[in-house]
Structure 1
Amino acid sequence: MSGADTSFEKIAFTAAATPEAEAARIRLADLYGETTLEEAEVIVALGGDGMMLQTLHAVRGRGVPIYGMHRGSVGFLMNTYREDLLRERLNAAIQVKIHPLAMEAVDQQGNRHRAHAFNEVALFRQTYQAGKLKVRIDGRERLEELICDGIIIATPAGSTAYNLSAHGPILPLGTPLLALTPISPFRPRRWRGALVPDKASIEIEVLEPAKRPMSAVADHSEVRNVISVSAALDASSSSAMLFDPDHGLEERILREQFVY
C-alpha cells in the first residue's frame, strides 16, 4: 500500500448500467475531459462494488490504478462521490495493490475452466440437496466429507463481502491468509471454517456430483456441474485501487470488525 507517486492527467470513466452512474459519468467527463481505457493513466469507476470488480478484471495486469466513486447499491470498495477537485483527490490517493485467486474448475464432461477472482472463489449447490465435498490443502486431505450448501475461499479484499455474510472472518489487507468458510454446514456441524496461508493450494472435490450438482463461481464467472475446483493466489497478477487518505480500505476493514 502506498501513496500515488504521479500526477494523473489522462482519465477514463466507466459506469455501471444505471441512470445515476451514467449521469455521473457524463458530468465528470464534461468537467475533466475523458480518454480511452487504453490510453488512460487512471480509471474512475462509478457505481458499486460490482462495478469495481468488473473494472479490476478489465485492467488486470496493465498497471492502471482504479479510483471508485460510489454511485451504486454497495460501496465498500468505493470512495465518496464528489464532483469537485477530482484530480487533486486522485493525486493524493493511497494506492492498494491486490492479487487475485486463480481458479481452475473441471466440469462433469472433463472440460477445464479457468478464471480469476479478486473477492472469492465459491461453490454452491444447484438443487434442493446439500452438496457433499472433500477438501484438500496442498494435496493433504483436511476434510473427508463436508455436507453444506457451499464453501467460500476469500481473499483479504473479499473477506468483507459474501464471506462476512456467511459468518467468515475479516482479514486485514496484507494478511498472508485466505479464509475458507462453509455456507450452512450440516456435517461436520461444528466446523466453522479455517484460515490457510495465501501460498497454499486449495482443492475441493465434489462427491456424488450427479446427485448433488455444484456450481463454481470466481467473482462474476460461473461454471456449472463441476466435479473439482482448485484455487491459489496468483502472485504474478495484480490490479491497483486508489482510496482517499481518510477513507482507506484498510481502515474500513478494521472498522467493520467493530460493527454490531
Structure 2
Amino acid sequence: MFKPEPFVTRLHFTASDRPEAQEARETLIARYGQASLAEAQVIVALGGDGFMLETLHENLSGGLPIYGMNRGSVGFLMNEYSEDALLERINAAESAVIHPLQMVAIDTDRREHRAVAINEVSLLRQTRQTAKLRISIDDKVRLGELSCDGALVATPAGSTAYNLSAHGPIIPLDARVLALTPISAFRPRRWRGALLGHTARVKFEIMEADKRPVSAVADNFEVRDVLEVHIAEDRDVALHMLFDAGRSLEERVLAEQFSV
C-alpha cells in the first residue's frame, strides 16, 4: 500500500483532450484544489490507457505516483471515475511499480534513436513484403530467421495490451520476465515466442532491409527503416501507479487470464 506521507492531500490533476476528461478535471479542481507539480504528492490522470501512458512518459524522472481515473475509451490501467472520497481512495490505494524498456534503434542511415517503452517495443513491416528478422538474446543468436509481420517485446504491465492481441502470454507483475512475441509468424509457423528473464538483452537484426523495410515502435515513438533494434529493461527507472484497494494491477492481470 502506497504511503508517501501520513496523509496525501496535495493533488495535481491532468486530463486528456476528451471533453469528458476536461470537464472532470475542472470539477475535481474546484472540489480538491490544484497543487503545482513541484508541490503535489500525487498526479491524478483523467482519460484512457493511452493518456495514462502519456502521463507516465512525461513523468519518467519526476518520481510522483500517478492515480488514473477512466474518462476515456479504454481503462485497463485506470480506476473507476468518481468525484467522491478521492483523498480517501488515494490514501488507501495499492502501488504497482513499473520498470520500462529502453530501445536503441539504428536506421539504414546508421543514425541511432533512443526511446523508452512502458508497454512494449514492436517491430512492424512497412510494406506488403513480410519482415525477416534475426533474434539474439544476450549476444547469442536464438532464431536465425523469422518471417513475420513483426515481433514485440512486452513488459508485464504491457502484456495485456498489444502483446495479448498478438496471442502473447499475460505476465504477472512480480514474475520478473519479459514476453517476446511474434506477430503473424509465417516461418517458422509454429514458433509462438518466448519468456525471457527481465535482465535479458534482446537484439533484432533486419534481414533484407532494403527490400523488406521495418519500423520500430516504443509505445508511441516510431523509427522507420531500421537495421538493428536493441531492447533491455531499465531497472534505474521505477514508475509508480496507484490502484484502488482490492483492484490492484496484479489483480487485474490475474482476472484477465480467466476472462471469457
TM-score normalized with structure 2 length: 0.98
Task: Look up the match of 1:101.
Answer: 101
Q: Residue 249 in 1 paired to residue 249 in 2? A: yes
Aligned partners of 1:159 and 1:171 also within 8 Å: yes
Distance in 2 separating the partners of 1:218 and 1:145 = 22
CA apart distance, 1:38: 3.2
Aligned partners of 1:13 and 1:29 also within 8 Å: yes
SS at 2:246 equivalent: helix
SS at 2:195 equivalent: strand
For 1:86-235, what aligned pairs fall within 5 Å after superposition? 86-235=86-235
Task: Look up the match of 1:23.
Answer: 23
Q: Residue 40 in 1 paired to residue 40 in 2? A: yes
Aligned residue type for 1:114: R
Distance in 2 separating the partners of 1:38 and 1:129 = 50
Aligned partners of 2:43 and 2:67 also within 8 Å: yes
Aligned residue type for 2:49: D
Aligned partners of 1:45 and 1:52 also within 8 Å: yes
Consecutive aligned runs of 4 or more in structure 1 exceeding 2 Å deviation: 2-6, 36-39
Distance in 1 separating the partners of 2:38 and 2:56 = 14
TM-score normalized with structure 1 length: 0.98
Distance in 2 separating the partners of 1:250 and 1:161 = 15
Tell me how many residue pairs correspond in the alignment.
259
Distance in 2 separating the partners of 1:171 and 1:92 = 25
Task: Look up the match of 2:3.
Answer: 4
SS at 2:28 equivalent: helix
Structure 1 residue runs without a partner (length 5+): none
CA apart distance, 1:5: 4.1
Aligned residue type for 2:54: Q
Aligned residue type for 1:4: K
Distance in 2 separating the partners of 1:166 and 1:9 = 41
SS at 2:50 equivalent: helix
CA RMSD of aligned residues (A): 0.9
Segment drifting more, 32-41 vs 217-226 = 32-41
Structure 2 residue runs without a partner (length 5+): none
SS at 1:35 equivalent: coil
CA deviation profile, 1:4-45 (whole Å, cap 9, x unmatched)? 342222211111111011111111111100022233211000
Segment drifting more, 163-172 vs 7-16 = 7-16
Aligned partners of 1:99 and 1:237 also within 8 Å: yes
SS at 1:152 equivalent: strand
Distance in 2 separating the partners of 1:239 and 1:32 = 24
Aligned residue type for 2:226: V
Distance in 1 separating the partners of 2:213 and 2:111 = 16
Distance in 1 separating the partners of 2:25 and 2:215 = 35
Distance in 2 separating the partners of 1:36 and 1:95 = 22
CA apart distance, 1:3: 3.1
| Identity in percent | 57
